[in-house]
């Protein structure tokens, strides 16, 4: 029986090798001045932007755009590897080999003798293998979290890792109660007019809401992005409805905007 992974290798190698050759030529002395000037540091904003554009295409279920954005993100990886190759530090082959070896090491239930079969057991195994690989004197369970992550993502990752060692609410109602408790403390802080207290309690409330999302099997970052997109869509519809009435934002009061907003929300706005 043929192996689809091995069978696809030849079709993958040629276009990827061509991409690497193109990037090397762009970076060569006779190449593009802009590409030659780039460094790891200068490429960071583009790397982040392309990553978010991939995420946006996924959220919008835009397959053609996703293909394009994945290509843009792959270009960022190849550019960083080419800069490292020129400096004699590492190559794209080493990058590929290292991630392939890591995947095999961290999936002993697929490539080895581990009996881990459900997602929970696999994730615990992954964490254990990762800590052993790092060989660091830092043995605190949450030490490996990347602090540069967006706040919602970092909060959910911290909570998830804590839950894997049993530090987690057992009942959903306890999580809901915690959200309500934190909301009450936010109200008390607002009443005190203490800016530091308000900021601290708001952070605690957001953290509790992230935990509620996690316990319901949701990704807080994705949930908030979807809610924001819904708000933008409804706001645009409200603006269009006002325009049809010969009115503009900034010239109508909140009560009128609320009335139009509610019609948009219910789907009864004029077409």
CA atoms of 141 and 187, how far apart (whole Å): 33
Q: What is the pLDDT of residue 256?
A: 94
Average pLDDT of the residues of the chain: 90
Q: pLDDT tens digits for 194-203?
A: 999 999 999 9
Q: What is the pLDDT of residue 1?
A: 45
Q: pLDDT tens digits for 11-40?
A: 668 999 999 999 999 999 999 999 999 999
Residue 6 has pLDDT above 60, yes or no: no
Q: pLDDT tens digits for 128-166?
A: 887 777 765 556 788 878 888 889 999 999 999 999 888
Q: pLDDT tens digits for 84-114?
A: 999 999 999 999 999 999 999 989 998 888 8
Q: pLDDT tens digits for 113-122?
A: 888 878 888 8
CB contact at 8 A, 221 and 150: yes
Does the pTM surpass 0.85? The reply is no
Mind giving me the DSSP string for 3-20?
Answer: -HHHHTHHHHHHHHHHHH
State how far Cα 18 lies from the chain centre.
29
């Amino acid at each position: 029986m043929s192996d689809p992974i091995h069978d696809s290798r030849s079709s993958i190698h040629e276009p990827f090798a061509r991409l690497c050759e193109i990037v090397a030529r762009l970076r060569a002395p006779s190449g593009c001045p802009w590409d030659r000037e780039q460094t790891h540091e200068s490429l960071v904003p583009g790397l982040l932007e392309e990553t978010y554009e991939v995420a946006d295409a996924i959220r919008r279920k835009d397959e053609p755009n996703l293909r394009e954005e994945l290509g843009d993100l792959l270009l960022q990886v190849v550019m960083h590897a080419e800069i490292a190759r020129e400096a004699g530090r590492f190559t794209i082959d080493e990058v590929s080999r290292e991630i392939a070896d890591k995947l095999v090491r961290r999936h002993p239930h697929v490539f080895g003798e581990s009996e881990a079969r459900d997602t929970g057991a696999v994730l615990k195994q992954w964490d254990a293998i990762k800590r052993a690989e790092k060989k660091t004197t830092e043995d605190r369970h949450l030490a490996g979290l990347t602090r540069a992550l967006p706040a919602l993502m970092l909060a959910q990752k911290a909570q998830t890792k804590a839950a894997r060692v049993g530090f987690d609410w057992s009942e959903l109602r306890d999580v809901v109660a915690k959200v309500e408790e934190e909301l009450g403390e936010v109200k008390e802080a607002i009443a005190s007019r203490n800016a530091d207290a308000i900021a601290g309690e708001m952070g605690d409330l957001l953290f509790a809401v992230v935990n509620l999302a996690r316990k319901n099997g949701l990704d807080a970052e994705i949930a908030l992005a979807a809610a924001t997109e819904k708000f933008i869509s409804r706001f645009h519809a409200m603006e269009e409805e006002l325009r049809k009435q010969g009115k503009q934002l900034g010239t109508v009061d909140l009560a009128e905007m609320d009335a139009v907003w509610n019609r948009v929300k219910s789907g009864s706005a004029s077409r």
